[in-house]
């Protein structure tokens, strides 16, 4: 094919960018021989190959000269990455057209082509190359901020800003990027119809004894694992309003059926806002179907506290004593510091009734989504600062950086321990814990590190399986007193993205006590209307969005295959007919599916997953149980920094490890609340007289880590490592930090005054 002039200019700049060595003149070279698979040439001429020139030609046709990045650009923003990903998918589609490839060929063969030999290669940024000069040499002792180099052979495994992995190939409508369709080729049933029919608001308390803290901790862990890169306004980071006419190509609003009693009947709303997640690009920039980007590091490492890249991590630190920035606004009430205000892009994920009112800043941007997250974020940030202070007293020769990193390592280990010791056994049950090797050794090391296991989170986990928690939500958060008496409650719809109650003296403790006393809702197909009708409701409205519809639509636009495909992946009895669902799902729900879907093959995973009856001693059904267990198994085996690993430069000493294994969530709550005196030992389960009776925070029944295990005996020859005061970097930080705090003092006083005013202007909003 002849290359038009404009393209030659492109090719030439690509050549210069790559260096002349890389230019192999033979671009007629075969990129993918077609003879090895069943292939019928659409032109009838019997092409033997897809050549590199074909790929380059398709690429230029796809981007039509507008890519928004220059060849050789590194550190792409998420929008640039999305553009690039979008063009790569379009290239895939064009090649699919030209060569008449099947869906299977698109997903299994096109990714084999080495795009480094095409013009795509010159745009592939450094951070997406499998060996970017492989600089994992240093930093073996501590996790990097963006998770890179956890695995030495595959430095990108589990790093932030990379795509989710796939357990099974994606299922897009067109095989490449469009939203999933029915096996008949027609669109799937309307997500809101499924939500309204199957995921009704029926209050059933959980048959086991889990507290709301169980759901809240689950969400916190999710925010350590996944945040799918979202399409937002690039400047304000506000949502794009597809329902009010924004014509973004990624708009996929849910059209509410006319017979909907709530949205149409009561509020005349025909549309629920929704937009596709950003496209991502896989490592080495291959062709193939659409992928989505995980903005977080995969490993359980406390990134919701620390951030998932160096820039965010720096913004959160105080650079003194290894601590995080927190503000002592409630010090006058003798209460501990709270999280700092989010002043950059303040409207991102935050509803602000007044321009001087701010939400909180933390390592994960969803900290303000609902109050329970704000509560737990505060507790864990305080825990970091508490430990840093103690370590500083024990090892006075450690500088800020050392204190920060050592503390971060301990806090990350504590989160791993609580997750595998308290949360997962309750969620998955004994049998599944054992089957997937998730059990901890009671004391000491466990030697299971497997460098061939990829810790990258699978797409299905974030888009469907770990969203099981949406079924557990009650409709309000309770506040309880220090002697465990109910004080009041606040509906979720009143505090989505409005965490202002945490400015009120004493309320953090009251919410914490509420979370450990209040029961969770049952794990079933019912979901509270607080999230199916009122999600992110603005103060002026009586309706919001529908999370169940969004979950269903989200998985479809991520190409997550249907429920039967996951049953097969999990080696569970196959779903061949409606009646084969009876073993795990109730008659009524199957009847609803029968009315809504054309075929059992089409049923959406999230909907069926939450509707499955839970297996014996667990909270969750077999399909979600399998997907979640497999994910957490990879996270345990494949994490070089797994806290039980022995013999690595980053390993804890045996003594230190056994201190970490003493930790319980209740201990963290006791140590970092303002004034909690008693609590049940297992905070994820309700207190009960015989099994989980409340104990004193001070007593031996809630053992404390002894941080003297971290004492570094430096001996006689120790050299104190003091930061160089002449180092310009240290000076700049000092100045910035001080100014910032001063400014905040006044601001925070003001915020507090406003918060009190807002609460007194809404006398009916809590009992």
Which of ligand NAG, ligand HEM, none has residue 753 at its interface (CB below 5 to 8 Å by kind)? ligand NAG
When the beta carbons of 282 and 471 are compared against ligand HEM, the nearer one is 471
How many CB atoms are closer than 10 A to CB 94?
A: 18
Q: To the nearest whole angstrom, how small is the minimum distance from the Cβ of residue 700 to ligand NAG?
A: 46
555-566 burial string, b = 16+ CB within 10 Å, else e?
A: bbbbbbbbbbbb
- The whole-angstrom separation of Cα 137 and Cα 143 is 13
Residue 226 binding ligand HEM, by CB under 6 A: yes
Residues in region 86-145 near ligand HEM by CB under 6 A: none
Cβ pair 715, 309 in contact under 8 A: no
Which of ligand NAG, ligand HEM, none has residue 587 at its interface (CB below 5 to 8 Å by kind)? ligand NAG
Position among 121, 125, 158, 218 found at the interface with ligand HEM (CB under 6 A): 218
How many CB atoms are closer than 10 A to CB 362?
A: 27
**Which residue is listed with tokens 């007919």?**
577
Q: To the nearest whole angstrom, how small is the minimum distance from the Cβ of residue 330 to ligand HEM?
A: 25
Residue whose C-alpha is closest to residue 451's, from 158, 242, 176, 211:
158
- The whole-angstrom separation of Cα 15 and Cα 21 is 9
Residue spans of alpha helices (H) in 141-298: 191-198, 212-225
Q: To the nearest whole angstrom, how small is the minimum distance from the Cβ of residue 33 to ligand HEM?
A: 38
Which of ligand HEM, ligand NAG, none has residue 228 at its interface (CB below 5 to 8 Å by kind)? ligand HEM
Position among 304, 492, 511, 566 found at the interface with ligand HEM (CB under 6 A): 492
Residue spans of alpha helices (H) in 559-664: 563-569, 587-596, 605-611, 622-637, 654-660
Cβ pair 637, 679 in contact under 8 A: no
When the beta carbons of 493 and 614 are compared against ligand NAG, the nearer one is 614
Q: To the nearest whole angstrom, how small is the minimum distance from the Cβ of residue 54 to ligand NAG?
A: 4
When the beta carbons of 228 and 656 are compared against ligand HEM, the nearer one is 228
Which residues carry a binding-site annotation for heme b? 470
Residue 523 binding ligand HEM, by CB under 6 A: no
Residue 223 appears among annotated catalytic residues: yes
Cβ pair 391, 407 in contact under 8 A: yes
Residue 624 binding ligand HEM, by CB under 6 A: no
Cβ pair 480, 513 in contact under 8 A: yes
Of the candidate spans 148-156, 214-222, 240-248, 682-690, the one that interacts with ligand HEM by CB under 6 A turns out to be 214-222
356 half-sphere exposure, CB direction, 13 A CA radius: 13
Q: For residue 535, what are the β-bridge partners? A: 545
Q: Which residue is nearest to ligand HEM (CB)?
A: 469
Residues in region 296-325 near ligand HEM by CB under 6 A: none
Q: To the nearest whole angstrom, how small is the minimum distance from the Cβ of residue 91 to ligand NAG?
A: 13
Cβ pair 471, 526 in contact under 8 A: yes
Residue 392 binding ligand HEM, by CB under 6 A: no
Which of ligand NAG, ligand HEM, none has residue 1 at its interface (CB below 5 to 8 Å by kind)? ligand NAG
Residue spans of alpha helices (H) in 109-171: 119-123
Which of ligand NAG, ligand HEM, none has residue 564 at its interface (CB below 5 to 8 Å by kind)? none
Task: Please classify residue 139 by burial: count the beta carbons closer than 10 Å to its beta carbon, then call 0-12 exposed, 13-18 middle and 19+ buried.
Answer: middle
For binding to ligand NAG (CB under 6 A), which residues are involved? 1, 28, 47, 51, 53-54, 98, 587, 750, 753-754, 757
When the beta carbons of 1 and 717 are compared against ligand NAG, the nearer one is 1
Write the CB contacts of 138 (distance below 8 Å, at least 6 apart in sequence).
none
Assign residue 8 a region (left: φ > 0; alpha: ψ between -120 and 50; beta: otherwise): alpha
Of the candidate spans 219-227, 655-663, 693-701, 728-736, the one that interacts with ligand HEM by CB under 6 A turns out to be 219-227
How many CB atoms are closer than 10 A to CB 406?
A: 21
Task: Please classify residue 493 by burial: count the beta carbons closer than 10 Å to its beta carbon, then call 0-12 exposed, 13-18 middle and 19+ buried.
Answer: buried
Residue 228 binding ligand HEM, by CB under 6 A: yes
Both tokens of 124, joined, read 């592939």
Q: To the nearest whole angstrom, how small is the minimum distance from the Cβ of residue 349 to ligand NAG?
A: 23
Residue whose C-alpha is closest to residue 315's, from 340, 348, 345:
340
When the beta carbons of 473 and 751 are compared against ligand HEM, the nearer one is 473
Q: Quick one: how far is CA 71 from the chain centroid?
A: 31
- The whole-angstrom separation of Cα 741 and Cα 747 is 10
Task: Please classify residue 298 by burial: count the beta carbons closer than 10 Å to its beta carbon, then call 0-12 exposed, 13-18 middle and 19+ buried.
Answer: buried
Q: To the nearest whole angstrom, how small is the minimum distance from the Cβ of residue 215 to ligand HEM?
A: 4
When the beta carbons of 232 and 640 are compared against ligand HEM, the nearer one is 232
Task: Please classify residue 739 by burial: count the beta carbons closer than 10 Å to its beta carbon, then call 0-12 exposed, 13-18 middle and 19+ buried.
Answer: exposed
Of the candidate spans 60-68, 215-223, 245-253, 433-441, the one that interacts with ligand HEM by CB under 6 A turns out to be 215-223
Q: To the nearest whole angstrom, how small is the minimum distance from the Cβ of residue 53 to ligand NAG?
A: 4
When the beta carbons of 735 and 753 are compared against ligand NAG, the nearer one is 753
Position among 63, 106, 215, 418 found at the interface with ligand HEM (CB under 6 A): 215
Q: To the nearest whole angstrom, how small is the minimum distance from the Cβ of residue 756 to ligand NAG?
A: 7
Q: To the nearest whole angstrom, how small is the minimum distance from the Cβ of residue 588 to ligand HEM?
A: 25
Residues in region 543-582 near ligand HEM by CB under 6 A: 547, 550, 554
When the beta carbons of 50 and 159 are compared against ligand NAG, the nearer one is 50
Catalytic residue among 27, 199, 223, 558: 223
Which of ligand NAG, ligand HEM, none has residue 523 at its interface (CB below 5 to 8 Å by kind)? none
Residues in region 337-376 near ligand HEM by CB under 6 A: 369-370
Write the CB contacts of 763 (distance below 8 Å, at least 6 apart in sequence).
none
Which of ligand NAG, ligand HEM, none has residue 550 at its interface (CB below 5 to 8 Å by kind)? ligand HEM
When the beta carbons of 166 and 661 are compared against ligand HEM, the nearer one is 166
- The whole-angstrom separation of Cα 669 and Cα 526 is 30
In the chain, what's the furthest Cα-to-Cα distance? 83
Taking CB under 6 A as the rule, which mask of x and - marks residues 452-481 in contact with ligand HEM? ----------x---xx-xx-xx--------
Both tokens of 278, joined, read 């950003």
Which residues carry a binding-site annotation? 470
Q: How many Å from the N-terminal Cα to the C-terminal Cα in the chain?
A: 74
Residue whose C-alpha is closest to residue 507's, from 483, 530, 484, 478:
478
Cβ pair 224, 457 in contact under 8 A: no
Residue whose C-alpha is closest to residue 316's, from 330, 331, 332, 302:
302
When the beta carbons of 521 and 673 are compared against ligand HEM, the nearer one is 521
Residue whose C-alpha is closest to residue 505's, from 324, 742, 759, 216:
759
When the beta carbons of 119 and 222 are compared against ligand HEM, the nearer one is 222
- The whole-angstrom separation of Cα 432 and Cα 424 is 10
Residues in region 258-297 near ligand HEM by CB under 6 A: none
Q: How many residues of this chain bind ligand HEM (CB under 6 A)?
A: 21
Which of ligand NAG, ligand HEM, none has residue 517 at its interface (CB below 5 to 8 Å by kind)? none
Which of ligand HEM, ligand NAG, none has residue 105 at its interface (CB below 5 to 8 Å by kind)? none
Which of ligand NAG, ligand HEM, none has residue 20 at its interface (CB below 5 to 8 Å by kind)? none
Given the rule CB under 6 A, which residues bind ligand HEM?
A: 215, 218-219, 222, 226-228, 369-370, 462, 466-467, 469-470, 472-473, 492, 531, 547, 550, 554
Residues with a catalytic annotation lie at 223
């Amino acid at each position: 094919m002849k290359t038009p002039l404009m393209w030659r200019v492109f090719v030439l700049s690509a050549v210069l960018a790559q260096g002349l060595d890389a230019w192999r003149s033979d671009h007629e070279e075969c990129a993918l021989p077609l003879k090895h698979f069943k292939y019928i040439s659409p032109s009838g001429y019997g092409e033997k190959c897809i050549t590199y020139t074909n790929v380059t030609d398709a690429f230029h046709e796809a981007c039509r000269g507008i890519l928004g990045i220059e060849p050789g650009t590194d550190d792409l923003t998420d929008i640039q990455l999305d553009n690039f990903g979008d063009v790569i998918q379009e290239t895939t589609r064009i090649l699919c057209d030209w060569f008449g490839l099947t869906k299977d060929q698109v997903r299994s063969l096109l990714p084999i082509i080495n795009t480094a030999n095409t013009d795509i290669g010159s745009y592939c940024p450094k951070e997406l190359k499998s060996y970017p000069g492989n600089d994992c040499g240093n930093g073996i002792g501590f996790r990097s901020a963006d998770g890179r180099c956890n695995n030495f052979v595959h430095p990108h495994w589990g790093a932030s800003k990379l795509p989710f992995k796939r357990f099974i190939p994606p299922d897009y409508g067109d095989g490449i990027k469009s939203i999933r369709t029915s096996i008949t080729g027609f669109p799937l049933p309307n997500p809101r119809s499924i939500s309204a029919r199957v995921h009704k608001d029926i209050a059933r308390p959980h048959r086991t004894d889990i507290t709301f803290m169980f759901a809240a901790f689950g969400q916190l862990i999710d925010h350590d694992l996944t945040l799918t890169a979202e399409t937002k306004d690039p400047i304000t980071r506000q949502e794009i309003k597809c329902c009010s006419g924004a014509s973004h190509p990624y708009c996929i609003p849910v059209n509410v059926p006319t017979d909907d009693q709530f949205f149409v009947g009561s509020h005349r709303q025909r549309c629920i806002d929704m937009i596709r997640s950003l496209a991502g690009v896989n490592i080495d920039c291959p062709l193939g179907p659409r992928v989505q980007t995980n903005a977080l590091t995969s490993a359980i490492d406390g990134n919701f506290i620390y951030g998932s890249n160096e820039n965010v991590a720096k913004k959160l630190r105080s650079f003194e004593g290894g601590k995080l920035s927190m503000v002592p606004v409630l010090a006058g009430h003798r209460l501990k510091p709270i999280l700092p205000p989010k002043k950059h892009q303040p409207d991102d994920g935050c509803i602000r009734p007044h321009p001087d009112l701010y939400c909180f800043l933390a390592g994960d941007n969803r900290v303000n989504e609902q109050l329970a997250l704000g509560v737990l974020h505060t507790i864990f940030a305080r825990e970091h600062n508490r430990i840093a202070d103690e370590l500083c007293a024990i090892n006075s020769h450690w500088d800020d950086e050392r204190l920060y990193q050592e503390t971060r390592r301990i806090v990350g280990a504590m989160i791993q321990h609580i997750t595998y010791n308290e949360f997962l056994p309750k969620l998955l049950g004994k049998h599944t814990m054992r089957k997937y090797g998730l059990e901890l050794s009671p004391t000491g090391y466990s030697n299971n590190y497997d460098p061939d296991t990829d810790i990258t989170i699978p797409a299905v986990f974030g888009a469907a399986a770990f969203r099981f928690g949406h079924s557990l939500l009650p409709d309000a958060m309770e506040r309880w007193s220090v002697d465990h008496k109910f004080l009041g409650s606040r509906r979720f719809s009143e505090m989505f993205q409005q965490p202002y109650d945490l400015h009120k003296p004493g309320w953090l403790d009251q919410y914490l006590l509420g979370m450990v006393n209040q029961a969770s809702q049952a794990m079933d197909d019912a979901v509270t209307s607080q999230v199916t009708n009122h999600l992110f409701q603005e103060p002026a409205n009586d309706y919001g969005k529908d999370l169940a519809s969004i979950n269903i639509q989200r998985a479809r636009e991520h190409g997550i295959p249907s429920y039967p495909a996951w049953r097969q992946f999990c080696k569970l009895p196959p779903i061949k007919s409606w009646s084969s669902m009876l073993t795990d799902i109730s008659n009524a729900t199957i009847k609803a599916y029968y009315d809504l879907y054309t075929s059992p093959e089409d049923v959406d995973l999230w909907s069926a997953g939450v509707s499955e009856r839970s297996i014996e001693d667990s909270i969750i059904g077999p399909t979600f149980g399998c997907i979640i267990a497999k994910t957490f198994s990879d996270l345990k085996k494949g994490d070089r920094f797994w806290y039980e690993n022995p013999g690595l430069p980053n390993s804890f000493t045996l003594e230190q490890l056994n201190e970490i294994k003493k930790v319980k969530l209740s201990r963290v709550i006791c140590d970092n609340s303002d004034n909690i005196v008693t609590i049940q030992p297992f905070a994820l389960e309700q207190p009960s007289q015989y099994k989980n009776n409340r104990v004193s925070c001070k007593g031996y029944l809630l053992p404390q880590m002894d941080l003297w295990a971290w004492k570094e005996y430096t001996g006689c020859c120790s050299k104190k490592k003091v930061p160089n005061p002449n180092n310009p970097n240290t000076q700049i930080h000092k100045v910035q930090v001080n100014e910032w705090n001063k400014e905040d003092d006044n601001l925070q006083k003001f915020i507090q005054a406003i918060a009190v005013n807002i609460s007194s202007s809404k006398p009916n909003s809590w009992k």
